[in-house]
Structure 1
């Protein structure tokens, strides 16, 4: 199997680390990921989530505009420093390229606020599709920058 590709994007936001973590983890995904960025669609809805999104092992189904989607499992919750998840059962435009994704959000003090870093580890579907992942990763960085801008606006309200 081909090696995964790691991509990340960060943004400094002038809020306390604990507030950034506490408000980001449960934020409704359709509010945060509400835009197209190239071939990456917005999130239309989240299904099958029970209770607050807060405990390792919880799962939910993410529906994307255009019919794609994926299954998300919360794999790490280390308040207020980080939370992680795995995306599996990828359907839609990303499915030919990606087998699964490991996601990580990190929150670190920076100046008078928080440096929020969002990271994806992209695991290719096959050795044949692996060469396309760096291209997708560059597109994802733009998508992530836009999402972090949306997050910043949300946290500063």
Structure 2
């Protein structure tokens, strides 16, 4: 199969969602908070069917280094692996999610998250894109429904928690 055909098929198996927010903090501070090793329980507090993050474990290296990974433990006892893929302080942070132990394991092969940060007057514009990779064409539809009904709200709660951290 040609590379162009592989890319075409891969694009038809992704479900991506992007959210943006203005955070009332300096770009360096906002980036450092969002990309911090210990931030997940503070900002991923759950929404609907998506449980909160309880804690992380098995961190392999400095969290500002691509290649570092950890296990994310959710409040319902499930886990997912997460690894840093890009870290450009105060501009861009990206990670890969794999091996979910919960129901999404039947729908997806993994996911990627990307954060972009832009200094603006009075704060920082944060853009977060989360891309799920469906197992196949049949799982793309239920994965899309999950993203629209649950993951969108999860991302909104997360961004509101980031804003609240800097507004206080």
TM-score by length of 1: 0.91
Partner Cα separation in structure 1 for residue 62 and residue 34 of structure 2: 12
The residue number in structure 2 matching 1:33 is 44
Aligned to 2:65, what secondary structure does the other structure show? coil
- Count of residues in correspondence between the two structures: 156
| Counterpart check, 1:149 vs 2:160 | yes
- For residue 3 of structure 2, what is the aligned residue in structure 1? none
- Structure 2 length normalisation: TM-score? 0.85
Q: Does 1:79 align with 2:97?
A: no
Contact 1:17 1:113 in 2 (8 A): yes
Quote the RMSD (CA, aligned, Å): 1.6
C-alpha distance in 2, partners of 1:28/1:142?
Answer: 19
The alignment partner of 1:128 has SS state of helix
Where does the alignment leave 5 or more consecutive residues of structure 1 unmatched? none
Distance 1:6 1:64 in 2: 22
Alignment partner for residue 124 of structure 2, among 89, 114, 117? 114
Aligned pair 1:14/2:34, yes or no?
Answer: no
- The Cα shift of 1:152 comes to 1.2
For residues 36-82 of structure 1, what are the alpha-carbon distances to aligned partners after superposition, in whole Å with 9 as ceiling and x for unaligned?
x1211111120101454211110100111222211111000011111
The corresponding residue for 2:4 is: none
Contact 1:98 1:124 in 2 (8 A): yes
Runs of 4 or more, structure 1, over 3 Å off, are none
Q: Distance in 2 between matches of 1:151 and 1:30?
A: 12
Q: Residue 94 of structure 1: CA displacement?
A: 1.7
* Larger gyration radius, structure 1 or structure 2: 2
Structure with greater helix share of residues: 2
In 2, Cα distance between equivalents of 1:126 and 1:86: 19
Q: Is the 8 A contact 1:68 1:93 kept in 2?
A: no
Counterpart-to-counterpart distance in 2, 1:29 and 1:45: 7
1:64 to 63, 67, 74: 74
Cα distance between partner residues in 2 of 1:69 and 1:106: 26
Q: Secondary structure at the match of 2:73?
A: strand
